[in-house]
Each structure stands twice: as C-alpha cells, then as structure tokens.
Amino acid sequence: MECPRCQGSLEEYSLGDVSTVTCPHCNFADVPVDHVQEGEETESWRDAFNRFYEQ
C-alpha cells in the first residue's frame, strides 16, 4: 500500500476486529471513525469554546 500523503509505504496494525494503517515517514494515520452529523448549522469556534466552558 502507498501513503496518500507522501507515497511512502504504509504499515497496517490490527487489534481484534479493528485495523488501521499508518505511514512511518510522514505520520499519516488512517483511523476509521463512526459519527453522525448533529444538525445542519455550523458552529463557530467561539460558540464551541463557550459551550465547552459552560459545561
């Protein structure tokens, strides 16, 4: 496999059913995530920090 960032060779690591690839040359990491978008409005950084500090 070839790194999409630097075209170096990728190394694959796995633990149980989960695996990921990483590039030892540029530190690219392809980490799969599961997420769902919450709402359609984009939150500003200021609003995000304010929400964080309020909690």
Query: Is 7 within a domain?
Result: yes
Q: Is residue 51 part of a domain?
A: no
For 6-53, what is each residue's pLDDT tens digit? 999 999 998 888 888 999 999 888 865 666 767 677 888 999 999 899
Q: Total structural domains in the chain? A: 1
Answer whether residue 3 is part of any domain. yes
Task: Classify residue 44: in a domain, yes or no.
Answer: no
Any domain includes 47: no
Please report the pLDDT score of residue 33 as a whole number.
Answer: 60
Q: What per-residue confidence (pLDDT) applies to 31? A: 65
The per-residue pLDDT for 46 is: 93
What is the rounded distance in angstroms from the CA atom of residue 21 to the CA atom of residue 48? 31
What pTM did the predictor assign? Answer: 0.47
Domain that includes residue 21, residue range: 1-31
Give a yes or no: residue 45 inside a domain.
Answer: no
Q: What is the pLDDT of residue 35?
A: 64
Flag whether 2 is in a domain.
Answer: yes
The verdict on residue 54 lying in a domain is no
